[in-house]
Amino acid sequence: MDKSENIIVLGAPVTRGDTQIGRVELIKPNAGALRGVRLADLAASDVDALLAVLPRITVPSLTKAECNGLDPADLIALAGVVIGFLSPKPAE
């Protein structure tokens, strides 16, 4: 996955104090970032699973409260990248 594909421009930026977060990069999770989450739930875009993992794999690191306040369209865009991380790579 190309690094630029891991950057999501938020349609509804997250406000943190005086700062607006309009772009979020997702880093490929390791096993530790996935702890406590069923992979099947994550692959199915289960909201609770996504909200557990996103604070661990976003740059800048979004808090759980900020993730809870995400616009649904932005959550779907982030979920698409997360699912891409879990998809098998094509054979060459």
**51-76, pLDDT tens digit by residue?**
999 999 999 999 999 999 999 999 99
pTM: 0.89
Q: How many domains does the chain have?
A: 1
CA proximity to 49, closest of 77, 82, 24: 82
Radius of gyration in angstroms for the set of CA atoms belonging to the chain, rounded to a whole number:
13
Residue type, 36: G
Residue 91 has pLDDT above 80, yes or no: no
* Mean pLDDT for the stretch of residues 11-30: 96
Q: What is the pLDDT of residue 87?
A: 83
Q: What is the pLDDT of residue 28?
A: 94
Cβ neighbourhood burial of 55 (10 Å; 0-12, 13-18, 19+): middle
* Residue 92 falls inside a structural domain: no
Structural domain harbouring 45: 3-86
* Residue 78 falls inside a structural domain: yes
